[in-house]
Amino acid sequence: MPSYEELRELLDPASTVLLTVECQQGVVGPESALPELAKEARASGVLARIAQLVAGAHASGVQVIHAIAERRPDGRGANHNARLFRAAERLPVQQLSGTTAVRVAAPIEVADEDLVVRRLHGLSPIAGTDVDPLLRNLGCRTLIVTGVSANVAIPNAVFDAVNRGYTAVVPGDAIAGVPSDYTPAMVRNTLALVATITTTDELLACFKRPRTVTRA
């Protein structure tokens, strides 16, 4: 774990962005297509902590981006080249564009200044989406990654962020996957090799510092 001063140095609000990954009703909401994952995200407090981080980011001037996974009703442009994609096509709840399933889930609040990036393909919220060019235009140097799942999208996001030159910060208690004991093992053995691992409380403490934020 980094010291408070080390973490504070990384988290200049002018060059920090908070990314929420697939925190949408059809994934982590009560009517989830993935009830086991939704239960873990809620029962563990992960979703509530993400909401705290988003609120803290809003208060401190840190930009928030919500990455949403969805598909067209006709499936055009969607991937079919992995078992995960084929299984998703058979789920009773579909992440269809324009439906409640692809709205950011409560208790996370979306502010007017937040950016919402929607993707129709792939496993990563960054690769092949608008997230990377938006981060560059925002002057981002540090990307905080939160959300689900620790099994697939979160490691994809962290690796893609690092490969593109961003410093990745992961609050280990603000990501969820299944089974519950998989997430801490994955953080310890994989993400800790490439990202700065911290906690929600430590990030919130850094967010509370006064700082004038100037963005292009």
22-19-100 Cα angle (round to 5): 30
The answer to whether position 84 is within a domain reads: yes
Confidence of residue 87 (pLDDT cuts 50, 70, 90): confident
Confidence of residue 4 (pLDDT cuts 50, 70, 90): confident
The answer to whether position 70 is within a domain reads: yes
The answer to whether position 215 is within a domain reads: no
CA distance 33 to 66: 19
171 token code pair: 């609050």
Which residue, 121, 127, 185, is CA-closest to 151?
Answer: 185
The CATH number assigned to the domain holding 41 equals 3.40.50.850
Q: Can you tell me the mean pLDDT for 46-55?
A: 98
Q: Can you tell me the mean pLDDT for 150-175?
A: 98
Give the tens place of pLDDT for each residue, 113-149: 999 999 999 999 999 999 999 999 999 999 999 999 9
Question: What's the structural domain count of the chain?
Answer: 1
The answer to whether position 113 is within a domain reads: yes
The answer to whether position 216 is within a domain reads: no
Collapse the DSSP code of 197 into the 3-class scheme (helix H, G, I; strand E, B; otherwise coil) and give the result: strand
pLDDT of residue 123: 94
pLDDT of residue 91: 86
CA distance 61 to 85: 36
Give the tens place of pLDDT for each residue, 171-196: 999 999 999 999 999 999 999 999 99
The answer to whether position 62 is within a domain reads: yes
The answer to whether position 214 is within a domain reads: no
Collapse the DSSP code of 157 into the 3-class scheme (helix H, G, I; strand E, B; otherwise coil) and give the result: helix
Per-residue pLDDT for 169 more than 90?
yes
59-63-67 Cα angle (round to 5): 120
Average pLDDT along the chain: 94
Please return the burial class of 152, using the count of CB atoms within 10 Å of its CB with bins 0-12, 13-18 and 19+: middle
pLDDT of residue 44: 97
DSSP type of residue 99: S
CA distance 131 to 105: 20
Per-residue pLDDT for 97 more than 60?
yes
The answer to whether position 209 is within a domain reads: no
pTM, whole model, 2 decimals?
0.94
Give residue 166's domain range. 4-204
